[in-house]
Amino acid sequence: MKLEAVSSTKSFDGWQKQFRHYSETLQCDMRFAVYLPPQIEKGTRFPVLYWLSGLTCTDENFMQKACAQRMAAELGIVLVAPDTSPRGEDVPDDPGYDLGQGAGFYVNATQEPWKQHYRMYDYVLKELPELVEQYFPVNDRRALAGHSMGGHGALVIGLKNMERYTSISAFSPICNPIACPWGEKAFAAYLGADKSLWEEYDATVLLSRARERIPMLVSQGDADEFLEEQLKPHALQSAAEASGYPLKVEHHAGYDHSYYFIASFIEQHLRFHADFLLRG
């Protein structure tokens, strides 16, 4: 796989970079962003936190708005943020913001016209880490985090592949997509009418069935306009309580769904992951 450099900017003595490549998984050009902490220059290898963004976002939103570079530089953690879906003139799209380009939902689509390109689950799980580990001085310790639709992606991919990750965290995740309008629309389009297939991408269902454990932190703002109809964190909490899963959910009074919320607590999330990523 060949990488094309798009941009490079110094930040907290490290480097914020952006790359483009052709994805065999998604059958289109893809872009992703990387933050390399200053310790990289010492020649050692570092763990990676993969960040998955939400509806309408690209690889740039988190890197530009979350103020994560300062703490990543201090801790010695590489940050990687992919785009949220395949894009391009030949990639199917939809007029709605919650389906198509910018709304890949981190699933492997099985339905036309989506199934050729919309395989974000495999891209995040396999192709992107292979690319990162080929071209950058990183080790095989990985963690997952995300926001909203990306929080859903982080929870689902992490719960289904615990052996690959040290920890998972999410801000305002879509916790029970089989029972919310965003998820119902996307899953019906990408996965078809068989709702038993939807359950494979629902964090609440997966957590209720989990036999292993991975450290997991969820942060939710109580002033989030999508809280009750779309996000449903209480469903995830109930599943954790019923199954004895040690899920940590924090509710923050007055915070909404925006990046102001993420920027306020990203240090806590990075320190949470560092406890597991940096262990010897």
Q: Which amino acid is at 190?
A: Y
Cis peptide before 113 (omega within 30 of 0): yes
The rounded distance, in Å, linking the Cα atoms of 61 and 52 is 10
Contacts of 103 (CB under 8 A, 6+ apart): 55, 56, 84, 85, 94, 96, 97, 149, 186
The rounded distance, in Å, linking the Cα atoms of 255 and 275 is 26
- 224 in catalytic set: yes
Active-site option among 117, 147, 152, 257 = 257
- 83 in catalytic set: no
The rounded distance, in Å, linking the Cα atoms of 26 and 266 is 30
Looking from the CA of 215 toward its CB, the CA atoms found within 13 Å total 14
- 257 in catalytic set: yes
Following DSSP, what letter does each residue of 64-100 receive, concatenated?
HHS--HHHHHHHT-EEEEE-SS--STTS---SSTTSB
Active-site option among 148, 167, 172, 219 = 148
The rounded distance, in Å, linking the Cα atoms of 213 and 215 is 7
The answer to whether the CB of 175 falls within 8 A of the CB of 183 is: no
Residues identified as active-site: 148, 224, 257
